[in-house]
Amino acid sequence: MRLFILLVASVLARAQNQASDPASPPLNQAYEALRALHYDDAISLFLKGIEAEPTRAAIRKDLAYTYLKIGENDAAREQFGEAMRLDPADFHVALEYAFLCNETKKPAEARRIFDRIRKTGDAASLPVAEQAFQNIDRPLRDGIERWTRALELSPDNFSAHQDLAQLAEDRDEFALAAAHYLKAWNLQPDRKSLLLDLGRVWKAEGKAEQAHSALLAASRAGEPRAAEAARELLPTRYPWVYEFRRALDLDPSNVELHRELAYLLLRMDRKPEAEDEFKTITSQSPADLLSAAQLGFLYLARGDRAAALPVLQRVMDGNDLELANRVRAALQLPQVLAPGVRPQAGAAVPPSVEAKTMAERSVKAGYMKDALKYLQIAHESDPVDFDVMLKMAWAYNILHDDEQAIRWFALAKQSPDPKIAHEASRAWNALRTGFAHTRTTAWIFPFYSSRWHDLFSYGQVKTELRLGKLPFRPYLSVRLIGDTRQTISGVAPQYLSESSFIIGAGLATRTWHGVMAWAEAGSAISYLSHGPGAGHMLPDYRGGVAFARGWGRLMGATEPGMFFETNDDGVFVSRFGNDVLMYSQNRLGYTFAPVDSLGGFRSQLYWNANLTTDLNRQYWANFYELGPGFRFRWAHMPPSLLFSVNLMRGVQTVNQGNPRGPTFFDLRAGVWYAFTH
């Protein structure tokens, strides 16, 4: 009985240990596979064990030895390295890692590890590490001395500088390595891989800015392997303009660097600097017809046709017929067809055309991010296709990245095609106010009300200050709220409006999906010469949340159709007994097609449904109203100038203190006008 209890306890303990050790099942199977010499299965199972317990050094050590059994020395080295990182006190693992580094052409790393172990290791590892260190260090030291003597005799020996630099780098003498890589580079600046070497040792030396310049130049050089290795060492962000310039100081003949900087400057609307870069490119690389065309277009954009024509003539005389015809179109010259060439079925489609086609399909399907990727490919294939620039601008705009959108609109508005330039200019003008440091908006809404037999006027001038990317903007504001009649006559005259100028300062958030919040403190100055508060300055505190959205064929649409608009506000006003007023104004209707025979007459017929209420339940602030309305304008007018006529039937929902009836009719006719600067 006791034996049975011990057996059950042993089984339960083993099950509990396996449950608390998620790596145990795959590891048990891995060791069984090792005993059966099934190394591939063992490796797969060890990897599963590492997934379960990634910080256990012993698993990585066993996996490394398994890799050694099948001759995968690089993989074994990486696992020994991870095991050494997890358990720095395991000097045996560190020695294994160092020996494998030396065998796999990483002598500098091997030398560092052996040096550490010979200084801090245990009794067993010290002599091994010392001997291994000397075996690596002695040839490096002797080689440096030999090449130093050779350079004393021949200072311009390129191979001597390069070999000396490589030996110094392997010996961690980074300053010496950098000095001779730089001398080798100055002797043969066409060897772009030296920029990678130079950036690597400067980075190891702690000279981050110099390293970045060398690596950036190498990443835009013509040697693919060096460029790829340099990109891996660079930060993931895109370089700044000053970083491009520092890289060009190091490698002034790097045409790729000049070209990328030129297009970056164009995107930033720094045309004079971009022009200088394109001049450099066309002088260093006369066969670069794309850059020549872009330089010519820049000359044309600033009205220097005399400078543009020789450059564009070079493009028209070149071997790129499509680009030449685009230049001819800009100069309003006839197109030229290749003699005897006809489009053939199955002919290769230019990458830019194929990318544009895929972008258009993505837009139609609603996949804007995919469309943007295809448009970027099209732009890289043909950097002077202004239609692609315009499409990219709209794509960024739809994706709510207006900072990128406005840059691309700025480029597209330089197009020689008037239609593209006009569309891009309108969009750029619409967006630029949102990125200006200050923005002034003004609006006024005078209207006549038959209910009150009065002309009311509401208006505001507001100047906002943009503070980088902060979600709010401070502003200064002047409001006008008044009417011409001022009072309803009687024993106790009723004032129909505030009859004041309200001067205030406040904060307003950016609009997000039609929602905006604001808060303001100021003073109301009555312009009346009689009545309560005449000529007085009274404190005025306001704030609220506003929502405005429209759907369908809104005013300005070129095609007829249904539309719906809503404007909803909640406003706190201190001067009305700290009241909160809530408005909801809704319009559902039909937008008619423009009537060109009437000067581009545009109009809307709609139904109003409005609700007003407040927290203090004052009779004048609680009612709903319904009724038809008609809005119209002409095409030659500013887009924000609008006339409206509304016939409303209203019902007061609170009548206590109401001197008039519970229902009313009101014919309102008004003009809305606004502008932004």
pLDDT tens digits, 407-425: 888 888 888 888 888 888 8
Q: Which tokens belong to 274?
A: 């971009």
Q: Which two three-digit tokens encode residue 347?
A: 């002919």
Task: Say how many C-beta atoms besides its own lie within 10 A of residue 617's C-beta.
Answer: 12
Domain 438-676 belongs in CATH node 3.40.50: no
Measured CA to CA in angstroms, residue 31 lies from 11, 65, 133, 211, 218 at distances of: 20, 12, 35, 47, 47
Is it true that 351-431 and 438-676 share their CATH fold?
Answer: no
Give pLDDT < 70 ranges for the chain: 1-20, 334-359, 361-367, 370, 381, 433-436, 469, 484-498, 528-536, 558
| CATH number for region 351-431 | 1.25.40.10
Q: Which residues have a Cβ under 8 Å from the Cβ of 665 and sit 6 or more positions away?
A: 450, 451, 647, 648, 649, 650
The answer to whether residues 504 and 497 touch, using CB atoms and an 8 Å cutoff, is no
Q: Angle, to 10 degrees, between the axis of helix 125-153 and the axis of helix 91-103?
A: 30
Domains in the chain: boundaries: 268-336, 351-431, 438-676
User: 480 - beta bridge partners?
Assistant: 459, 501
pLDDT value at residue 461 = 92
The answer to whether the beta carbons of residues 257 and 222 sit under 8 Å apart is no
8-state DSSP, 602: E
Give the C-alpha distances (Å, rounded to integers) separating 626 from 531, 568, 593, 629, 671: 34, 16, 25, 10, 20
Neighbouring CB atoms inside 10 A of 283's CB total 8
Contact 630, 602 (CB under 8 A): no
Question: What span, in angstroms and rounded, lies between the C-alpha atoms of 395 and 336?
Answer: 33
Q: What share of the chain is helix, strand, coil (3-state, %, to 5)?
A: 50, 25, 25
Report d(CA 612, CA 666) in Å as an integer.
15
**Percentage with pLDDT > 70 across the chain:** 87
CATH top-level class of 268-336: mainly alpha
How far is 152 from 74, CA to CA, in rounded Å? 39
Number of Cβ within 10 Å of residue 31's Cβ equals 13
Read off the DSSP letter of residue 346.
T
Residue 631: which H helix or E strand, with range?
strand 623-634
pLDDT of residue 11: 43
Which tokens sit at 498? 């505030």
pLDDT for the residue numbered 643: 94
Q: Residue 215 — φ and ψ, nearest 5°?
A: -70, -35
| SS3 category, 318 | coil
Nearest to 193 by CA among 251, 255, 242: 251
Residues paired with 650 in a beta bridge? 625, 664
